[in-house]
Chain A
């Protein structure tokens, strides 16, 4: 039988790897709207991590700011510019 503490650590490891993968996808996504969604997924994983690390105060400030406000502000910003990220042809 796996002790519950190990299960918590296992879940934390999965959440940490998930957040790293989300960051990778957010950086390399050309569609900026999708990148914002990946960034929000990363924030959700971080919120889980904070909760499992027993920092509920940080969870409560992180959830509205990183999952609600920042994606909202970024989506407003994207709606004022362009949705696709332009690739410099000489660089690629």
Chain B
């Protein structure tokens, strides 16, 4: 009852402030026109008639994240990797071994539902990640969606089941490092091609620029891959999914109870 009264007070305060803001907006109305910076991005993100400015990606957000400001995203990935390294360092000395005698987990109904929905979630995550240059989404989004499935399996089946199936910390670390190496090589792809054919090229270059003729293919087998964007999304998806899986494995490993020797 007391909580209900407090909720009503809260709602009325919000509504009162909203009313004041409505009156205040009579004096300040944000314009409906698109700002010049947004016009630039929207008019160049997929524009075959401007070959030196376009990214060949109809998804402006992914184009900005991995092309216009690609270096920022690379360092964001590095921050996530360092956080994970810190987590692994905190959990050092813990060895995760499969324990076939430990048949934990939830009921058969929950396990069956998890078995059915698991592949669906992975498919949705892969679709979000690999279509990141065409539709809303991208590598991080797809990887985070896929990472939900290890968490659900750990909770419904127990962490020993996951390790028994071969999803160990070391294997996930290898997968994550593979993703990061892939991101690094994709960032250097244009430079490597440029060195091979003896032309000027830049790090993080995607499409041809006026000072550099090196360009990654925008179309592969007549389907749009937007040069580096598809590869960045693929490797980022692998790295994020494997990274979250390591975090869950370390978090869910049961700790020793008091008075029990390791």
CB-based contact A69/B244 at 8 Å: yes
Of the residues B11, B136, B247, B251, contact of A57 by C-beta under 8 Å: B136
Given A57-B136, A57-B137, is A64 in contact with B145 using a C-beta cutoff of 8 Å? yes
Given A13-B18, A69-B151, is A60 in contact with B137 using a C-beta cutoff of 8 Å? yes
Bound Cα distance A78, B62 (Å): 36
Of the residues A21, A24, A65, A76, contact of B144 by C-beta under 8 Å: A65
Of B2-10, B41-49, B183-191, B199-207, the one with at least 4 CB within 8 A of chain A:
B2-10
Bound Cα distance A13, B147 (Å): 32
Bound Cα distance A44, B6 (Å): 23
CB neighbours (8 Å) of A13 from chain B are 18
Task: Please indicate which of the listed interface residues B138, B141, B251 has the most CB atoms of chain A within 10 Å of its own CB.
Answer: B141
Total contacts A to B, CB within 8 angstroms? 68
Of the residues A17, A24, A76, contact of B6 by C-beta under 8 Å: A24
CB-based contact B151/A72 at 8 Å: yes
Given A68-B148, A76-B251, is A61 in contact with B14 using a C-beta cutoff of 8 Å? no
* A49 nearest CB across to chain B (Å): 14
CB-based contact B14/A17 at 8 Å: yes
Which residues of B (2-32) have their CB < 8 Å from a CB of A?
Answer: 3, 6-7, 10-11, 14-15, 18
CB neighbours (8 Å) of A24 from chain B are 6-7, 10
CB neighbours (8 Å) of A63 from chain B are 145
**A77 (CB) vs chain B CBs: closest residue:** B251
The digit string for A51-86, where 1 denotes a CB below 8 A from any CB of B, is 000001101110111001100110111001000000
Bound Cα distance A68, B244 (Å): 12
**A23 (CB) vs chain B CBs: closest residue:** B10
CB-based contact B10/A69 at 8 Å: no
CB neighbours (8 Å) of B125 from chain A are 64
CB-based contact B255/A64 at 8 Å: no
CB-based contact B151/A61 at 8 Å: no
Q: Does B238 contact A (CB under 8 A)?
A: no
CB-based contact B140/A61 at 8 Å: yes
**B251 (CB) vs chain A CBs: closest residue:** A76
CB neighbours (8 Å) of B244 from chain A are 69
The 14 sampled A-B contact pairs (Cβ below 8 Å) are A20-B11, A21-B11, A28-B3, A57-B62, A57-B136, A57-B138, A57-B141, A61-B140, A63-B145, A68-B151, A69-B144, A69-B151, A73-B247, A76-B252
8 nearest A-B pairs in the assembled complex, by CB-CB distance: A56-B136, A60-B141, A68-B148, A64-B144, A64-B145, A57-B61, A61-B141, A72-B151
